[in-house]
Structure 1
Amino acid sequence: MPLTPKGMATRRRIVEGAASQIRDQGVFTLRLEDVMVRTATSKSQLFHYFPGGKDELLLAVARYEASRVIDDQQPELSSLTSWAAWQKWRDKVVARYRAQGSDCPLHTALSQVGGATEATRAVAQELLDRWQEQLAAGIRLMQSSGEIGAGLDPDREAVALLAGVQGGVLILLTTGRSTALEAALDVGIAHLRATGRGRHREGAPAAVESG
């Protein structure tokens, strides 16, 4: 049976409270009792919305954090209509991951819901699909204005850029340094820019003449 607006609000309050609890104390020490106190929720309410208990709640937290990854990049991610807009998106991604450092709530939640299960893979795939679709949409918009070469496959280019970002994030989570993430974004965007008709404009890489 679909939830009522009040029920949806209660469920969301529980998920947000659990997410905050994980950020504050980590997933290993998460107790349902603490979530109930934090969200002013009774045990019967919590198990009404999450009959699978802690594992089901953690999966809901993972979906919530996955949505935040996309939401935190807006409105820049959905407005990649100029090179200035791409730079703003790049800067926002770097700033977000610099601020969170090695403490990634999404990574923590996904890694603790029974490992690489079908459910966690589905959450991760949904996130990556949404991210790729918006990057590909930006590439298509730039192709329509000639700023990116028409011969490029937007979906393939978006996957490559996203793979670079994820690799950079993984290195940041391991070392606490954002240099790899910055390099992945800069090289990926420079590659796209070098294919368009505006590649020799101010700020674009200049061609090297052979002697």
Structure 2
Amino acid sequence: MFIIFGTRGLKHTVKEGDTLYNSCPNCQQGNLVSKLYRRWFTLFFIPVIPLDVIDRFYECDKCSGAYNENVKSVLQHSKEDMEKEQQEAQRVYAIALIATMTHMSIIDGEFAPEEEREIMDNMAKFPQFETVLNETFTKVKNYGNKDNQVFSLLNDARNKLSSESLINLLAQAAVVLLADGKIEKEEENLMKEYLIACGLPKDMYYTLIEKLRARPLTEFGKEQMN
């Protein structure tokens, strides 16, 4: 009989954690609930023993926006300062997303028109950062991860974004890996490298895959999964 064991990260609500009511910087209405990611030892894929805490953060119960714990201090700032913080977090997220998507697209030596369209569609969601996103796209498309530029952007993002936001970012980017309807071992290893660059353990890969599977597929994703 084979015994299958491993570790994985699971999200929990912190029972003793505080709730920041009507405080979400994104939707302005939701309550920010204290959450954490904890690593578990699994036996036959069932979590049986809780291990270390990976990250603590707040998550909006209305729009699912996720924030570092330092959002508590940010909320004490003026409305103008809060908007600046939110805009900077969005900028960091958008740059890291486009860099990662582009790198994923070129990693196999090919750059399909459908992949480029997917990237352009995501860039269009952040018109306020058009210039820097175009620069990021061109640089990564031409030079890949030269000088660890993609990993550096993910590493920088960990200072502004919660673990939940980083995993959502990678899940959003990973749709370009679904060209053949499955993720190859090399692609799995690449996503684990991205997780490490984000300051997260590589066994969060399975949490990332669950996020990816739960995402509504874009037209590109639907075409490739059919």
Q: Same fold (TM over 0.5)?
A: no
Which structure carries more strand by proportion? 2
Mark the structure with the bigger radius of gyration. 1
